[in-house]
């Protein structure tokens, strides 16, 4: 009996010693492999939260300031997640071009997973063959040039409503940003579903606000997994599930309507082509996609369109109007270009836009200074890679500070100046080929909605500027316009853009 006990004790000690040796070896190996690695510079971090406390309310600005101290590539810790911040055109090019395949995946975060059907959409989905095909379907069938052109009727009709609303506001100040937003909501919704019943606009705006509110919150669980319970206790998970459920019920209702013939017929009367929902539902019938998509994926893609397409477009349009008000010389020159092109017709038509090079330059210039997405959606490295001499491990989150890049004095002459003339001559395009300006991102993850957003912004701005003179209320001078921004999923103005309107003709 005594022999058995001492044998057990011996085995226990042996087991514990082996475990201790394994632990020491793991620590030793990880310590040495870390030390042998050439990591990007890192600011001091706190235990558990890492550098999260340093981000502040305008992370793109804070990270820009940090990059001036630590360099174009720096390694932070968001909780326990190593996060690489790229703040130069050169580093963005390395990430989005040279090593695009390594960096084109997205981290699967808890809040987007709840909101976007387990990240089965395009924007939040990790990269793979499924998302590659879905995105290619989006680009060639949902948001192609032909498809975007087919919504011309919708855009011109909504432009008419917006102009009439502005005409009704002569003599009083009007929140022009709100009118622009409402117009974009209706265009995107009608492109998706054709008709829009009374009350749907308000409902959709509420649902989108609920999404933005939870997407904006830094879910602790995504960055410090052992603290995930905190997101339950603070109510974040509950709020997120509620927002997802309400949007799901809304989408179910509209899709149901469209499955019956009435919905389809109606949408055809409004649009010349097919609505998004028709394209998506037909894809399964005629096998366009090469694989079938279930209803959750259809809803997830519609969410990408609403969440990714509405606020970004309307906020960008609003920023352009701000810059025009602040720069009367530019406004005058643009009014001249439009008046020359339109030649006495009552409204600007889409066909006119091609000739308006100054308008296009103004929009690009404004979007360089005011980016709705100043930090590009996070990516994640899928394998170990050498990046500009640094060792980047698989599983590193990557954030490109496109706001800092667009203001980099090494890349841009007088980066803070608003001089659209420079953009008229340059061949710089929205497409992200020039890594100094990534307003729509780049590489495999580039925004598929560039064409859709571009024509919507151009048409709205051209018509407003053609029909009206804009001024600030209460005798405020252009230079008094408050330009402070509010950081959110898309960055807009901090205060409403109130203007007074008078007719030009």
The footprint of ligand HEM (CB under 6 A) covers: 122-123, 135, 143, 304-305, 308-309, 312-313, 316, 372-373, 376-377, 439-442, 445-449, 452-453
Nearest residue (CB) to ligand HEM, 45 versus 108: 108
The partner residues of 78 in beta bridges, in order of sequence, read 50, 81
Kindly give the residue spans of alpha helices, DSSP state H, lying in 327-369.
328-342, 350-353, 357-369
Could you tell me the smallest distance in angstroms from the CB atom of residue 109 to ligand HEM? 14
Write the CB contacts of 484 (distance below 8 Å, at least 6 apart in sequence): 493, 494, 495
In contact, 443 and 96? CB cutoff 8 Å: yes
Nearest residue (CB) to ligand HEM, 194 versus 224: 194
Nearest residue (CB) to ligand HEM, 316 versus 500: 316
Could you tell me the smallest distance in angstroms from the CB atom of residue 119 to ligand HEM? 11
Cα dihedral: 283, 284, 285, 290 (round 10) = 80
Could you tell me the smallest distance in angstroms from the CB atom of residue 449 to ligand HEM? 2
Cα dihedral: 136, 142, 144, 145 (round 10) = -170
> Token pair for residue 292?
């079938």
Could you tell me the smallest distance in angstroms from the CB atom of residue 372 to ligand HEM? 4
Query: Residues of 172-210 as b/e, b for ≥16 C-beta within 10 angstroms?
Result: eebebbebbbbbbbbbbbbbbbbbbeeebeeebeebbeb
Report the sign of the C-alpha dihedral through residues 79, 81, 86, 92, in that order: negative
> Token pair for residue 316?
């960008």
Could you tell me the smallest distance in angstroms from the CB atom of residue 459 to ligand HEM? 13
Half-sphere exposure of 39 (CA within 13 A, CB side): 17
Could you tell me the smallest distance in angstroms from the CB atom of residue 364 to ligand HEM? 11
Q: Which of 493, 431, 505, 503 is nearest to 170 (CA)?
A: 503
Nearest residue (CB) to ligand HEM, 448 versus 492: 448
Nearest residue (CB) to ligand HEM, 219 versus 441: 441
In contact, 428 and 434? CB cutoff 8 Å: yes
Exposed, middle or buried: residue 370 (CB in 10 Å: 0-12, 13-18, 19+)?
Answer: buried
Between CA 109 and CA 106 the distance in angstroms is 9
Could you tell me the smallest distance in angstroms from the CB atom of residue 498 to ligand HEM? 23
Nearest residue (CB) to ligand HEM, 151 versus 223: 151
Nearest residue (CB) to ligand HEM, 183 versus 500: 183
Could you tell me the smallest distance in angstroms from the CB atom of residue 442 to ligand HEM? 5
Nearest residue (CB) to ligand HEM, 139 versus 347: 139
């Amino acid at each position: 009996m005594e022999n058995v006990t001492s044998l057990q004790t011996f085995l226990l000690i042996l087991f514990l010693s082996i475990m201790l040796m394994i632990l020491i070896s793991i620590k030793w190996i990880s310590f040495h492999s870390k030390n042998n690695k050439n990591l990007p510079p890192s600011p001091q971090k706190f235990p558990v939260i890492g550098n999260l406390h340093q981000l502040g309310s305008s992370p793109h600005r804070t990270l820009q300031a940090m990059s001036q101290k630590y360099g174009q590539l720096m390694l932070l810790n968001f909780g326990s997640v190593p996060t690489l911040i790229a703040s130069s055109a050169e580093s963005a090019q390395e990430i989005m071009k040279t090593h695009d395949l390594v960096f084109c995946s997205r981290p699967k975060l808890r809040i987007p997973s709840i909101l976007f059907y387990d990240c089965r959409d395009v924007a939040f989905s990790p990269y793979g063959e499924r998302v590659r095909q879905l995105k290619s379907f989006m680009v060639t069938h949902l948001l192609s040039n032909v498809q975007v052109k087919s919504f011309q009727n919708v855009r011109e009709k909504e432009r008419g409503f917006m102009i009439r609303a502005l005409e009704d506001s002569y003599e009083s100040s009007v929140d022009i940003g709100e009118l622009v937003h409402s117009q974009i909501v209706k265009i995107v919704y009608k492109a998706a579903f054709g008709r829009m019943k009374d009350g749907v606009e308000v409902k959709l705006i509420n649902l989108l606000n609920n999404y933005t509110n939870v997407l904006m919150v830094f879910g602790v669980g995504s960055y410090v997994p052992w603290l995930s319970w905190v997101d339950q206790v603070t109510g974040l998970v509950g709020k997120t599930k509620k927002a997802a459920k309400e949007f799901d019920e809304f989408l179910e209702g509209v899709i149901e309507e469209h499955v019956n013939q009435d919905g389809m017929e109606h949408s055809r009367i409004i649009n010349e082509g097919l609505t998004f929902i028709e394209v998506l539902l037909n894809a399964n019938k005629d096998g366009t996609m090469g694989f079938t998509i279930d209803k959750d994926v259809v809803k997830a893609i519609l969410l990408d369109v609403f969440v990714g397409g509405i606020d970004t477009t309307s906020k960008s349009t609003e920023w352009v109007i701000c810059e025009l008000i602040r720069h009367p010389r530019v406004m005058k020159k643009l009014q001249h270009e439009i008046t020359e092109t339109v030649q006495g017709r009552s409204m600007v038509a889409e066909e006119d836009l091609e000739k308006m090079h100054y308008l296009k330059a103004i929009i690009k210039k404004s979007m360089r200074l005011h980016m709705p997405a100043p930090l590009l959606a996070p990516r994640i490295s899928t394998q170990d890679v050498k990046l500009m001499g640094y060792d980047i491990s698989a599983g590193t989150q990557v954030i490109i500070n496109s706001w800092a890049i667009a203001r980099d004095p090494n890349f841009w002459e007088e980066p803070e100046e608003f001089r659209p003339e420079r953009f008229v001559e340059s061949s710089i395009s929205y497409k992200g080929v020039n890594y100094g300006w990534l307003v729509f991102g780049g590489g495999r993850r580039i925004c598929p909605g560039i064409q859709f957003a571009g024509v919507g912004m151009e048409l709205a701005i051209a018509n407003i500027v053609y029909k009206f003179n804009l001024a600030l209320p209460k005798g405020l001078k252009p230079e008094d316009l408050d330009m402070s921004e509010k950081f959110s999923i898309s960055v807009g103005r901090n205060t409403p853009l109130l203007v007074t309107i008078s007719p030009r003709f």
